[in-house]
Amino acid sequence: MDRRSFLLLTAASVAAPSARLVSAITADRDEASSPWYTSMRRCGQINYNERDPLTIDAEAWGDYWASLKVNAVMLNGGGIVAFYPTQVPYHHRSQFLGTRDLFGEMVAAVKRRGMRAVARMDCNWGYEDALKAHPEWFERNADGSPRPHAESPWLFSTCMFSTYFSEQMPAIYREINQHYPVDGFFTNGWPSTGALRVCHCENCRRLFDKLGGKPPEETDSSNPLYRKYYQAYMDRVLEIWRLWDKVAREKNPQSVYVGNLGGGLDTVKDLKEISEAAAWFNADHQGRGGETPIWVCAQQGRVANSVMGGRPITNVAGAYSNSQPTWRHVSKAPAELTLWLAQSTASGMVPWFHWLGGSPEDTRWRDVGRSFFTWLAANESHFRNRRSVADLAVLYPQRTVAFYSRPEARRPKVRGGPIDYLQGLYYALLEGRFLFDFVHEAHLGRATLEKYRALLIPNAAYLSDSHCEAIRNYVKGGGSLLATFETSRYDEWGNPRPDFQLADVFGAHVAGEVIGPLGNSYARIEAQHPILDGFHGTAVLPEAENRLPIRSDSAPLVLSVVPGYPAFPPEMVYPRTPRTTEPAVVFREVGNSRIAYFAGDVDRTCWRSGNVDLSQLLQNAVRWARGRDSLVAVEGAGLIETFAWETEAGYALHLLNYTNPNMTHGAIRHAYAVGPQRVRFQAVGRVIKNVRALRSGTTLRFEHHADTVSFEVPGIEDYEVVALT
């Protein structure tokens, strides 16, 4: 077929949908109660560039995505560059488009093969002709100058508070909706979960006048203007999200708008508020670099789950090498890429496989995606999750993550990054092989918490009165609690309180200001307690780098503080005060609740130091707080992360093997298999007839006593999923 007749064919197929397409659309209408995206399990994205219309082969891409059995493909529609003959003024048509309608061809290619087509848009940048015609659309510096892109300075940053967002983008969506049978819209780069931007355009200046002044450029929740700006900013994000979602559904109520979120643990924007507008959460968490641990992708899934309550979550996996520096046009190491897709799946997200550039010179990534996705498709019912099986809740402390420890200038003694507390507890939970969920601080009600035996709180310093009341009620109802350091010492904006809001629950009161950072301080063992299991042959343990002096009248002294003393020179290294009565930790039992409160930042210190005793101490405390055996226990060698889900088919136990020299640096380039793992799984009220390891494709022998199913997984290469049906 020559290019001309090919174009005619694709144009015809867009204008007059095939019989197959019509039946697919009819089927849609029949299932009006559950939109298509609620059941998708696999997504793909080809992110083509302005020059691609010269060379890209739409049918070949259609074949590739069909071979992965994806449910939906993201296809570049427009925004910065239009890949179709747009009539919207200042919507820049690709200079290489010629007579081609690339977007139309791509949409037709994926729809013909039974996949959904989502228009991938970019609302963040515009060209100079738009800047001249519509100066009000663009962000400005304080001196009035526009903000060019750092690498592509012919593009300028658009302002969310302008009509570019409320009029120009909707005009483009409507044009696309009118001409193409798209199933939804996705915007790259907006709104993100990161820090707010401050712009000085006319629109924003008017907003500042309303707020009473210009907000600070940096995140600073101690500043009253920042607080007002934060709320105005969130309001605008939700207003735009809802507007775009409405526009997306104008032609087809089954359509949807989805923004770009992500950020892993580190979020500033209010995820709970965003989740109220979002029918679909897309996490743009594509890869890692530097010293980032491998498990950050699974953490992203946990954060998103904490606000989405079972609604769809996708995660973008960059098939290109998105380390630091980034290489857009070479493949990521296959073992790293596979483990990324595996973490997305294990944590309950839908993996979204992403390549940049329509005519790749490196095609090594193709088989990696095909192999993983076809395996997913072959076992689909085991990846349709109904609910997580976990008996521990970890508080996701959004306000603390967003505002505490920032800005660094305000806290001259930096107490670590905002996510170090959570990361330290997380690492201990991985080492201890606990099953847990994240619970967002806005969802601490009984309905969410009642399934958990304990709530674990990694230094949630900034908590509102109502958050604290929910925690108090949970403990009153028999739930157990572990909390660290400054938890509840400030309100949700960071206003200090005279004492912990949860002092009555902790059985501890603030008795001074934070001491630290200070190394070479210790916790002296004063009495036997289950949390000291395994600590034989020592009278002291490492103490956290920062601690809050506390007093406690209601609990026996188990670990006392030995204040820090010089670590250098060796002649000076001896304790000046070898013994005190200051508690390093408080353990209490009230009714059925067990409460462990650590006065130091033991979680953060555990993460920063990598100290094994601190991890063991946290694991022991979690085990003590939880009590009894867990719902699922996995015993064996290796550092693994586990997720368990009740699924459409039964249960699925996901085992991710992180035992690898590249766990915290460099791409995973090879999987180091771990040996036998013995599993006990409580399948309450369900008779299990089959236990099968889906990755290795083997049926496992098992024993079933009462509700407990026991079996051995012979080994885990990189990832195993055991289906119990």
Q: CB of residue 107 vs Zn ion: minimum separation in angstroms?
A: 33
The nearer residue to Zn ion, 163 or 662, going by C-beta atoms, is: 163
For the bound state, the minimum distance from the C-beta of residue 204 to Zn ion, rounded and expressed in Å, comes to 3
- The residue (of 199 and 541) whose beta carbon lies closer to Zn ion is 199
199 binds Zn ion per the rule CB under 5 A: yes
CB of residue 136 vs Zn ion: minimum separation in angstroms? 9
Beta strands 43-47 and 350-356 are parallel
* Interatomic CA distance for residues 105 and 55, integer angstroms: 13
- Interface map 409-438 toward Zn ion (x if CB under 5 A): ------------------------------
Of 211 and 639, the one with the shorter C-beta distance to Zn ion is 211
What are the φ/ψ torsions at residue 456 (nearest 5 degrees)? -110, 125
Sorted by sequence, the CB contacts under 8 Å of residue 452 that are 6+ apart come out as 390, 391, 392, 393, 437, 439, 479
Provide, rounded to whole angstroms, the least separation between the CB of residue 351 and Zn ion: 35
Structure tokens that stand for 322 in this block: 């998105």
Q: 532: which DSSP letter? A: G
Whole-angstrom CA distances from 509 to 89, 481, 544, 549, 551 are: 64, 17, 18, 9, 5
φ, ψ (nearest 5 deg) of residue 399? -65, -35
Complex with Zn ion: residue 59 or 136, whichever CB lies closer: 136
Radius of gyration over alpha carbons of the chain, in Å? 27
Left (φ > 0), alpha (ψ -120 to 50) or beta: where does 488 sit?
left
- Shortest Å, Cβ 154 to Zn ion: 20
Which of 82, 107, 204, 346 contacts Zn ion by CB under 5 A?
204
Among 201, 401, 559, 606, binds Zn ion (CB under 5 A): 201
- Could you tell me the smallest distance in angstroms from the CB atom of residue 260 to Zn ion? 19
Q: Which is nearer to Zn ion, 135 or 432 (CB)?
A: 135
Burial grade of 679 (CB within 10 A; 0-12, 13-18, 19 or more): buried
Binding-residue total with Zn ion (CB under 5 A):
6
The DSSP-derived string for 197-222 is: P---SHHHHHHHHHHTSPPPSS--TT
The CB-of-147 to Zn ion minimum distance in angstroms stands at 10
Q: Which is nearer to Zn ion, 157 or 188 (CB)?
A: 157
- The SS3 assignment for 372 reads helix
Between 155 and 468, CB nearer to Zn ion: 155
**How many residues belong to the chain?**
725
Upper half-sphere CA count for residue 709 (Cβ side, 13 Å):
24
Shortest distance, position 111 Cβ to Zn ion, whole Å: 38
Kindly list the strands in the beta sheet with 540-542, ordered across the sheet, starting from the edge strand earlier in the chain: 540-542, 522-525, 559-562
Q: Which stretch binds Zn ion (CB under 5 A): 45-53, 63-71, 202-210, 578-586?
A: 202-210
CB of 160 to Zn ion, least distance (A): 7
Nearest approach, Cβ of residue 188 and Zn ion (Å)? 19
Residue 74 binds Zn ion, judged by CB under 5 A: no
Could you say which DSSP state residue 660 is in?
Answer: S
DSSP reduced 3-state for 138? strand
Q: Which is nearer to Zn ion, 157 or 647 (CB)?
A: 157
319 binds Zn ion (CB under 5 A): no
Cβ closest to Zn ion, residue 199 vs residue 688: 199
DSSP string, 326-338: -EEEEEPPHHHHH
Residue 500 CB, nearest approach to Zn ion (Å): 40
Place of tokens 């604290």: 468
CA distance 517 to 721: 43
Which residue lies nearer to Zn ion by CB, 24 or 234? 234
CA 322 to mean position of chain CA atoms: 17
Stretch that binds Zn ion, among 52-60, 199-207, 300-308, 664-672 (CB under 5 A): 199-207
Q: Which of residues 149-168 bind Zn ion (CB under 5 A)?
A: 159, 161
540 neighbors 562 (Cβ within 8 angstroms) = yes
**CB-wise, 199 or 393, nearer to Zn ion?**
199
240 counts as binding Zn ion under rule CB under 5 A? no
Instruction: Give the closest residue to 644 by CA, choosing from 683, 699, 701.
Output: 683
Contact window for Zn ion (CB under 5 A) among 198-206, 345-353, 528-536, 685-693: 198-206
Between 146 and 516, name the residue whose CB sits nearer to Zn ion: 146
Least distance between Zn ion and beta carbon 47 (Å): 27
Q: Which residues bind Zn ion (CB under 5 A)?
A: 159, 161, 199, 201, 203-204
